[in-house]
Structure 1
Amino acid sequence: MPVERIYVVDDEASIIEFVRIYLEKEGFQVKGFKDGKQAYSAIMADPPDLVVLDVMLPSMDGFEICKKIRSEENQVPIIMLTAKDEEIDKIVGLELGADDYLTKPFNPRELVARIKAVLRRVTLKRQTQEEIIHAGDITLDIKRREVKIKDDLIKLRTQEFELLRVLAEEPGRVFSRDQLLYLAWGYDFAGQTRTVDVHIAQLRRKIQAADVQIETVTGYGYKLVY
């Protein structure tokens, strides 16, 4: 199995070295960058398996790097390092396309856990890119991003599709709102779970002709049953 490569981008050499020690112990290959422009060029020329990206960098900050990477259709996983208690940094990073975030100062074990979680999610997504998912009389074509009830094509918005995909992959499993937020939207900070309820309500209306139902588990979340 090939060694997974991680780029660590931070203007503090001590943090790069600190992270390198922990990641190499876990079997990752690590390359560090202290300059934003150099990091961006390296990511675009030779994308790693994941980037740990600090916000505050010389020559090009982390937000700009993330924005430019995503504008080039480069889907390399990105974990942003944000300032402690700066909630807006987390939101901006996620809106620009980051996969996760971690606030400084951070526990290196938590960073390792988050890296592994993001890589697992990316691997699962790649494995299902060309799959067809069946749930009752609903069919999801992941590659074409199409949903049919029997032979009728149903128009779903992006996040409605992602919600249905998550639920349909494991019918009967109860997902909390936080889990759905993380799996369908890609982030996991508190205070945003109301959007899950809104999208579930919209999704229910659009699939009401199907023989599947999205059940509410009071006080917890939702599950797909048929």
Structure 2
Amino acid sequence: MAYRVLLVDDEKQIHTFVRISLNAEGFDYLGAYSLDGALSVIQNRSPDVIVLDLGLPDGEGISLLNHIREKGHTTPVIILTARDQEDEKITLLEAGANDYISKPFGVKELIVRIKVLVRDLIAPSKKTEDLIQCGELSLSLSSHQFWYDSRLISLTKKEFHFIKMLMEGNGGLVRQDDLLISIWGETHRQDSHYLRVLVSQIRKKICEEESRKNIIKTEPGIGYRLCVDEIEND
């Protein structure tokens, strides 16, 4: 099966070298030069991955990202951006972007990041029935479900992966380098803000009731751990 990658960018030169590289790696290339063109391709061709430039002739790329997420589409999105403000990158991740790459970029790096996202799309061929438990936390590897004090909490794949690593640590420190590499890949070992966004999202889900304690402890610049005593005594 050839995965379909949609490139949304108004620069023809970028389309040319990305198309050649995608085809060489066995991907199907889809192209759009505007927001309207991208919406048409998404509706008619259902791409597996979207590579989205922020500055387009008929608007900002983030408006397309917001639109597809509001419609419930979970298609992985890589943002192309010439902007380097960390706050804006965090805003993009919170809006539902899976990754970003700064312009000018190397096409080899883009291909690697696309492959990482495609890897996440591939369902495991064999599932285990293992249940991981840590205090009042339970996690099922086979059903991809997570419970806190018997309350089922819906997690994304990356949130599930994060919680799984912390539960396996059973209160021990899990280094942020290990988390970044395991969840996003080697190219993101310095992108600690990815983890800050992810942890913020998980905390909101776990602590939606005011009485719930924050069970994820941050060790600034080092990593994260579960507050096991608080889980067990909750």
Q: Please, what is the CA RMSD of the aligned residues?
A: 4.3
Separation of aligned partners in 2, 1:206 and 1:84: 34
Corresponding residue for 1:70?
A: 69
Corresponding residue for 1:134?
A: 132
Structure 1 residue 44 corresponds to structure 2 residue 43: yes
Residue identity in the other structure for 1:134: I
CA offset digits 1:56-88 (Å, max 9, x no partner): 112242101100000000111100001142434
Residue identity in the other structure for 1:176: R
Residue identity in the other structure for 2:36: K
Corresponding residue for 2:103?
A: 104
Separation of aligned partners in 1, 2:57 and 2:37: 10
Corresponding residue for 1:23?
A: 22
Report the CA distance shift for 1:216/1:75 in structure 2 as closer, same or farther (over 3 A): closer
Q: CA deviation at 1:206?
A: 7.2
TM-score by length of 2: 0.68
Among all aligned residue pairs of Structure 1 and Structure 2, give the percentage whose two residues are the same amino acid. 33
CA offset digits 1:13-62 (Å, max 9, x no partner): 11011111111111111111112111122113331110111011122421
Single out whichever of 20-29 and 97-106 deviates more from structure 2. 20-29
Unaligned runs of 5+ in 2: 208-212, 229-234
Report the CA distance shift for 1:133/1:15 in structure 2 as closer, same or farther (over 3 A): farther
Separation of aligned partners in 2, 1:60 and 1:49: 23
TM-score by length of 1: 0.70
Q: CA deviation at 1:158?
A: 5.5
Structure 1 residue 57 corresponds to structure 2 residue 59: no
Corresponding residue for 1:211?
A: none
Q: CA deviation at 1:125?
A: 8.6
Separation of aligned partners in 1, 2:126 and 2:49: 17
Report the CA distance shift for 1:18/1:195 in structure 2 as closer, same or farther (over 3 A): closer
Report the CA distance shift for 1:132/1:53 in structure 2 as closer, same or farther (over 3 A): farther
